[in-house]
A and B are shown apart, each in its own frame.
Chain A
Amino acid sequence: MATDVAQEVPRKGEGKAAKRRQNKVQRVVYSPAYRAKGGLFQALRTYSAEIWRDRWQIWMNFLRKFKSSYSTTFFGMFWAFALPLVPIGAYTLLATMRVVSTTDDMSHLVYIALGVTLYAYITAPIEQTMAALKSDMALLSKTHIGVFSVILGRFGNIAFETLVRLGLIGVLMAFFGSYPTHWQSLYFIPLLAVAFMASLGVGLILAIFNAVASDVEKVVSVVIRFGVFFSAVFFPMPQDGLSGQLTDFNPLHTFVDGLRHLLVKGYLPEWELMAWTAGGGMVLFFIALSLFYRAEPHLRASG
């Protein structure tokens, strides 16, 4: 029997607060089969309710982590804005010195700034999901806090850094004239969400395996560090030969290069490839959500 909410019954009032609340009492059955047959809709419903319930805590988590990062520094908030820009600055310098090749499609500064921003944004859910489950396992194993509340609390910093970088990109675009000119650039926003969910799906699946063998996160860390050089972040990948063919199978490349072109130029260089990647990413996300929903009680208990 794997019933989360098998029946809901109204509850006797105990005061103003209880009366105002939707008085419903849950009947929960915990068994070895708890959630084992849970499907996608059950997962979506449970997790969205948890995120709504814990919204205050997610926000507080973000603020806490954000404040604690800079609370003991002399320059305080300066670092919050400076550090996200460091990778962009470093690779821009290399591009300016002609150490890495650039593209004629757009300003190399915009190219690199967007590449770094998108790559960090897309890979963050993969790494942070595993990290959240590991570092906050004590909290997860002792309370019923929503697992996504813990994961999303860690994305606060990522969201802030992305906004700071996008701010810089806005300045660079205005300065170099690489700003969006076509209405189709607006597709950038929903595709950004799709990329995030696809990446989160990968992160959720890997987090399950990482709970059994922590080697997973080490391998992922290596892949992401090296992957940056194979995903058109700083320079375009060759179109010909074996490496050209392999890039089609690198979803990070597809998302980074596609989203960048879409924002700046207003079109996707390979829209079919993007459609397949985005579609596959969403399917993966939904599968991952269902699997994670089933595995979650056991993952939490392993803490």
Chain B
Amino acid sequence: MVESANEVVLRASGVFKKFGRNHLVARRQLAGRLSAVLRGKSAEHKQIKSGDFWSLQDINLEVCRGEVLGVIGLNGAGKSTLLRVLHGLLPPDLGEIEVNGETGALIELGAGFEASLSGRENVFIKGALMGRSRREMEELFPLIHEFSEIGDFINSPMSSYSSGMRLRLAFAIASTIKPDLLLLDEIVSVGDFTFKQKCRSRLNEMSEKAGVVFASHSMSDIRSMCTKAIVLQKGKIMFRGEPDLAIDFYTDMQAQIESKRVAPAAQSAPADEPASETSAAAAPKKPAYNPGDHVVKDTRYGVIAIDRTKVLRADHYWKMDGKPANVLDTCKPASFHFEVECLQTIDDLEIGIMIWDEKGNKIAPITTEFVKPDRLRETSGKVKGDVNLPQFSLVPGRYITTIAISEKGVLLYRNVLEEISVVSSARPIGVVRLPAEWTFEVDADRP
């Protein structure tokens, strides 16, 4: 087989998977499937009986070499089931999955590891499960050991490993073996910052030669790592396309669900609470809102809200080197990209961004209040732009960004973004690295 960029490594056509709501129904389903296959017939289940439910419905997708497919969805949407079906651990009830090549999977942390054996022995066992001989694994072992960064622990029983160490080793094995198709569940997102960076970098390397399916709740990971994405809801693909658009769709979907959930609470909330949001960019106070039009959710970093009569959607993320990023460098330029789609004309639109530290302290506001751009005096349709920072300035750590959009001081939209990590290519001291320009005067008269 000659590897080519558009070679399909995974194809799912009309895949359905059914589960039972209780143990008895599951047994009944199993009995039905077994009775069919033992007679040499297909175990197709076309009908839903009492107690059955479709966990996946009409899944059609293709992943080519060089593609990273993001899978987004709320809890219970079917992400993990989809990965298990694609990995061949769950046979579909309808449809077909075709895999061309070897599959590596990190669906459940620690699956297949023998806790009583050392990390070294487990490397060989996992390798064997992926069809690698002992000799091949001996050749790959130094690479796996180096990537996992577990040092001398490699000779200790895995029962003494932390979950982070297990994850590092599992990822190191699955990615070093270089499968044609890599299936990753949320677990890659639970490692520490440095490990996440290594994973991303390795995934980028891998995605050039393999197809990757990556299920995650981290929108920044989806945005930065995936070439396309699908949004699952109740086992159905509700959206497929560019990661940015998929994230927008998912955010809207989440907002609608949240809206239904909090509607009764919103109706009983006071209507005339003053709105002091935008200038402070992120004050965690409940804003003024029109009951029913807003979605309100309290977080540690203030509310999440949207006035659906005026704002259709908004999108925003940090960029470094022109690309979406959730890791920024203290000493390098960064920018914050925003897009707002308005449903009505908005007068005196204000956009405020606040950067918070992990403890919930406001660190740095960036707001249009001080500059009052003409473009925002009367806004309709879609507004998009960037705030450019010549140097990000904040010292290494983790920060949270909030964005608020208001009209004449009345909050229209507020969101809490995912955590960003800041690293420094220079020595990190203090709280902020102010952009500074040094000038010197040399007194030439002194001897």
Chain A residues within CB distance 8 Å of chain B: 1-2, 9-12, 14-18, 20-21, 25-37, 53-54, 56-57, 60-61, 64, 67-68, 139, 141-145, 208, 211-213, 291, 294-295, 297-302
Tell me whether B98 and A34 are in contact (CB under 8 A).
no
Q: Which residues of A contact B61 (CB under 8 A)?
A: none
CB distance from B187 to the nearest CB of A (A): 12
Q: Which residues of A contact B309 (CB under 8 A)?
A: none
Question: Beyond A28-B98, A143-B111, is A9–B1 a contact (Cβ under 8 Å)?
Answer: yes
CB <8 Å contact, B128 and A301? no
Cα distance, A252 to B134, chains bound together (Å): 41
Which of B34-42, B299-307, B367-375, B431-439 binds A? B34-42
Residues of chain B with a CB closer than 8 A to A299's CB: 30, 34
In contact, B30 and A21 (Cβ under 8 angstroms): no
* A60 with B121: CB separation less than 8 A: yes
> Given A211-B30, A213-B27, A25 and B180 touching (CB < 8 A)?
yes
* Min distance, Cβ A294 to any Cβ of chain B, angstroms: 4
Considering the complex, give the chain A residue whose CB is closest to the CB of B125. A57
B178 partner residues in chain A, CB cutoff 8 A = 14, 18
CB distance from A30 to the nearest CB of B (A): 4
A301 cross-chain contacts in B, Cβ below 8 A? 89-91
Contact A30 B85 (CB under 8 A): yes
> Contact between B89 and A35 (Cβ–Cβ < 8 Å)?
no
Q: Say yes or no: is B3 at the interface (Cβ < 8 Å to chain A).
A: yes
Whether A11 lies near B112 (C-beta < 8 A) is no
A139 — which chain B residues lie within 8 A by C-beta?
111-112
Q: Hey, which chain B residues are within 8 Å of A36, CB to CB?
A: 36-37, 40-43
Report the separation of the CA atoms of residues A274 and B257 in the bound assembly, to the nearest whole angstrom: 70
Chain A residues with CB below 8 A from B99, complex form:
26-30
Alpha-carbon separation in the docked complex, A301 to B27 (Å): 12
| 30 A-B pairs in the complex with CB atoms less than 8 angstroms apart | A2-B42, A12-B2, A16-B139, A17-B136, A18-B178, A20-B135, A25-B180, A27-B99, A29-B97, A30-B92, A32-B33, A32-B92, A32-B94, A32-B95, A36-B40, A60-B117, A64-B116, A139-B112, A142-B111, A144-B88, A144-B89, A145-B129, A208-B38, A211-B34, A212-B34, A295-B37, A295-B38, A298-B91, A299-B30, A302-B30
Rounded to whole angstroms, the CA-CA distance of A27 and B1 in the bound complex is: 11
Query: Bound state CA distance, A143 and B124, in angstroms?
Result: 15
**Which residues in B have their C-beta under 8 angstroms from that of A10?**
1
Judge whether A68 and B38 touch: CB under 8 Å.
no
Chain A residues positioned under 8 Å from B134 (CB to CB): 56
Q: A17-B140, A143-B112 are in contact. List 20 more A-B contacts (CB 8 A).
A: A17-B135, A21-B132, A21-B133, A25-B1, A25-B180, A26-B102, A27-B100, A28-B88, A31-B95, A32-B45, A32-B91, A32-B92, A33-B42, A36-B37, A53-B129, A57-B128, A145-B112, A145-B129, A212-B27, A294-B40
Q: Within the complex, which residue of A26, A27, A33, A143 is in contact with B43, where a contact is CB–CB below 8 Å? A: A33
Instruction: Say whether, besides A32-B44, A68-B116, A294-B37, A54 and B128 are in contact (CB < 8 Å).
Output: yes
Contact with A along B62-103 (1 / 0, CB 8 A): 000000000000000000000001011111111111111110
Interface of B toward A, CB cutoff 8 Å? 1-3, 26-27, 30-31, 33-34, 36-38, 40-45, 85, 87-102, 107-108, 111-112, 114, 116-117, 121, 124-125, 128-129, 131-136, 139-140, 178, 180
Nearest-CB residue, chain A, relative to B101: A25
Task: From A37, A60, A298, give the contact of B40 (CB < 8 A).
Answer: A37
User: Taking CB as reference atom, which chain B residue is nearest A23?
Assistant: B1
A16 to B139, CA, bound (A): 8
Does A142 contact B27, Cβ atoms closer than 8 Å? Answer: no
Nearest-neighbour CB distance to chain B for A43, whole angstroms, equals: 13
A208 touches B117 (CB 8 A): no
Q: Provide the bound-state CA to CA distance between A106 and B11, in Å.
A: 67
Bound complex: CA A21 to CA B128 (Å):
13
Q: Bound complex: CA of A64 vs CA of B36, how far in Å?
A: 38
Contact residues in B for A53 (Cβ distance below 8 Å):
128-129, 131
Chain B proximity of A4: nearest CB distance (Å): 10
Please tell me if the beta carbons of A30 and B96 are within 8 angstroms of each other in the complex. Answer: yes
Q: Is the CB of B40 within 8 A of A29?
A: no
A25 contact set on B, CB distance < 8 A: 1, 100-102, 180
List, in ascending order, chain A residues with CB within 8 A of B116's CB: 64, 67-68
CB of A15, distance to nearest CB on chain B (Å): 7
Complex alpha-carbon distance, A179 and B89, angstroms: 51
Query: When the two chains form the complex, which single residue of A35, A142, A302 contacts B107, counting CB atoms closer than 8 Å?
Result: A142
Q: How far is the CB of A228 from chain B (nearest CB, A)?
A: 31
Q: Is the CB of A298 within 8 A of B128?
A: no
* Cα distance, A16 to B135, chains bound together (Å): 10
Cα A141 to Cα B84 with chains together (Å): 9
Contact: B38 with A291, CB < 8 Å? yes
Cβ-closest chain A residue relative to B107: A142
Inter-chain contact B92/A142, CB cutoff 8 Å: no
Set of chain B residues within 8 Å of A213, measured between Cβ atoms: 27
Expressed in whole angstroms, the minimum distance between the Cβ of B61 and any Cβ of chain A is 14
Q: List the B side residues contacting A144 at CB < 8 Å.
A: 87-89, 129
Report chain B residues within 8 Å CB of A31.
Answer: 42, 91-92, 95-97
Let me know if A56 and B1 touch, CB within 8 A: no
Q: In the assembly, what is the distance between CA of A212 and CA of B101, in Å? A: 33
> Which residues of chain B are near A145, meaning CB under 8 Å?
112, 129
Contact pick for B129, options A1, A143, A208, A291, CB 8 Å: A143
Cβ–Cβ < 8 Å partners of B117 in chain A: 60, 64
Q: How far is the CA of A298 from the CA of B38 in the complex (A)?
A: 11
In the complex, the chain B residue whose C-beta lies closest to that of A71 is: B116
Given A1-B96, A12-B3, A60-B121: A300 and B89 interface contact (C-beta under 8 Å):
yes
| Complex alpha-carbon distance, A26 and B34, angstroms | 26
Is there an interface contact between B1 and A32, defined as CB atoms closer than 8 Å? Answer: no
Q: Report the bound CA distance from A200 to B26 in whole Å.
A: 27
A68 vs B38: C-alpha distance in the bound complex, in angstroms? 38
Which residues of B are found within 8 Å of A57, using beta-carbon distances? Answer: 114, 125, 128-129
Closest chain A residue to B116, Cβ basis: A64
In the complex, the answer to whether A56 meets B107 with C-beta atoms within 8 Å is: no
A1-B96, A36-B41, A211-B30 known; A142+B88 contact, CB < 8 A? no
Bound together, the chains give a CA A18 to CA B2 distance in angstroms of 15
Residues on A with beta carbons closer than 8 Å to the beta carbon of B100: 25, 27
User: Which residue of chain B lies nearest to A61 when distances are taken between CB atoms in the complex?
Assistant: B114
Output the least CB separation between A265 and chain B (Å).
42
Q: How far is the CA of A143 from the CA of B107 in the complex (A)?
A: 9
A213 to B100, CA, bound (A): 37
Name the residue among A27, A31, A37, A291 with the largest chain B CB count within 10 angstroms: A31
Q: Which of B98, B129, B133 contacts A54 (CB 8 A)?
A: B129
